Amino acid sequence: MKRQLIAIFIISVLFATSGCWNRRELNTLAIIMAIGIDKAPEDGKIKLTTQVLKPDEIKAPAATGGQGSPKGVWVLTSTGHTIFDAYRNATMQSDRKLYNSQTKVIVISEEMARAGVRPILDFFDRDHELRRLSWLLIAKGEAKDIIEAEHEQEKIPAQAIESLVTASGATSMAVTVNLHEFLKMLANKATDPFASRIEIIAEEETEKKAAKKPKPEESQQNGPRKRMRLTGAAVFKDDKLAGWLNRPETRGLNWILGKVKSGIIIVKSPKDENQYVALEIIRASSKIIPEIRDGQVTITVEVEEEGNLGEQMSDVDLTTPEYFDSLERRQATVIKNEIAAVLRKAQKEWGTDIFGFGDAIHRKFPREWKKLEKKWDTEFSQIEVKVKVISTLKRFGLHTAPAGTKRE
């Protein structure tokens, strides 16, 4: 026993003195929080923009000055033939080794996405530092602008983006897709993937735009301060970006997938068609039921929704059975319209099965699927989709009618 102990001791000493291969102190790492991928101006090269943490700035207390507090991150740009190459090239500018495991946000530019994302994503799934839990976002425009954008509340913009993603459930007008989910959809032969869409809005425009419906965003403004907004969805055909979904369409997608968590449904008041009523979504679920009859494929989407009366602007007491019934019907119509909008775009315009209809057929009718599989691309646009919405209203809040409402 003693001899073995001595041997172990000697070998430990050898290892200790010959250097520790994987040792890296925290203060020798450049911790990446977010990365953006763009097409480089050079031919076929990739431009990588990384948001690197500056620990010193994070540590510094607010004493340094409230308003002009320094940025907590440093943005670094490099190019390379592959992503990994670009990473290593970035080390030439940074005195520390880029460290990838905390990357929370991966932003891919529209241009890159249109060219196909499969080559880009290989590195992120192969490398052991990254996790598949990073959020995947497609930038409307350049990814670099998103990475460079600042946020008022968070010192680390990547954390702000992450919070934007997790908070998007409040409207359900954006999709939240992490790398894991995206790759799963990409790997599935029947399903086409989709991802979150992020865009830059100029600060001064924020107020003006709030009321209007967002038009297709123009281009990035070169104002001093940029803000980002997470809205809508980017839809892929296989690994190539096919197009964008606007907000109602995105919620339509979420309805079908049963991913609506919360949100507001705006309907016209049954009493006064000029006034709006806001119905809050409490919970929703969906079922995709495929059917094959005489070789004809039918998909039934069943959406169940439960809501509350959250706000109303008309001058009437809506808490009567008749009004509630009519509100429920209006609510169902809005949901149906949103679903129809996204179905039209996906089926007719792009022919991308982002809903997993093909997958549902595969699971339920494995034999028939073998025949369908090859021609699914064309078949998908042809299939009939029935939408069934069961929507209910449950509660109406702390008062029944606005102050001073006349009784009928």
List interacting residues with other proteins (CB under 8 A): 1-2, 4, 7-8, 11-12, 15-16, 20-27, 29, 31, 53, 55-56, 58-59, 99, 101-102, 104, 128-129, 131-133, 156, 180, 183-184, 187-189, 362-364, 366
Please choose, from the candidates 197, 88, 91, 132, the residue with its C-alpha nearest in 3D space to the C-alpha of residue 121. 132
How far, in Å, CA of 191 to CA of 182, rounded? 10
Judged by CB, which is closer to other proteins: 30, or 309? 30
Radius of gyration of the chain (CA): 26
CB of 117 to other proteins, least distance (A): 16
Judged by CB, which is closer to other proteins: 59, or 407? 59
CB of 268 to other proteins, least distance (A): 38
Judged by CB, which is closer to other proteins: 30, or 245? 30
Judged by CB, which is closer to other proteins: 17, or 222? 17
CB of 299 to other proteins, least distance (A): 15
Q: Which two tokens stand for residue 200?
A: 């830059």
Q: Which two tokens stand for residue 247?
A: 């907000």
Q: Which two tokens stand for residue 266?
A: 């705006």
Please choose, from the candidates 112, 108, 84, 109, the residue with its C-alpha nearest in 3D space to the C-alpha of residue 98. 84
Judging by beta carbons within 10 Å of its beta carbon (0-12, 13-18, 19+), is residue 115 exposed, middle or buried? middle
Judged by CB, which is closer to other proteins: 191, or 250? 191
How far, in Å, CA of 248 to CA of 214, rounded? 11
CB of 132 to other proteins, least distance (A): 6
**Length reported for the chain:** 408
- Please, what is the angle between helix 118-126 and helix 179-187, to 10°? 120
CB of 191 to other proteins, least distance (A): 10
Judged by CB, which is closer to other proteins: 57, or 304? 57
CB of 1 to other proteins, least distance (A): 7
CB of 96 to other proteins, least distance (A): 11
Q: Which two tokens stand for residue 191?
A: 């399903």
Q: Which two tokens stand for residue 342?
A: 């996204």
Judged by CB, which is closer to other proteins: 60, or 278? 60
How far, in Å, CA of 289 to CA of 272, rounded? 38
CB of 101 to other proteins, least distance (A): 3
Judged by CB, which is closer to other proteins: 26, or 398? 26
Judged by CB, which is closer to other proteins: 15, or 266? 15
Name the CA dihedral angle for 150, 154, 157, 159, rounded to a multiple of 10 degrees.
-160
What three-state secondary structure class fits 386? strand
Judged by CB, which is closer to other proteins: 32, or 393? 32
CB of 166 to other proteins, least distance (A): 9
Angle (CA) 408-331-278 rounded to 5° is 65
Is the sign of the CA dihedral 87, 90, 96, 101 positive or negative? negative
CB of 116 to other proteins, least distance (A): 18
Please choose, from the candidates 206, 126, 154, the residue with its C-alpha nearest in 3D space to the C-alpha of residue 34. 154
> What CA–CA distances, in Å, run from 249 to 55, 190, 243, 257, 280?
41, 21, 12, 12, 18
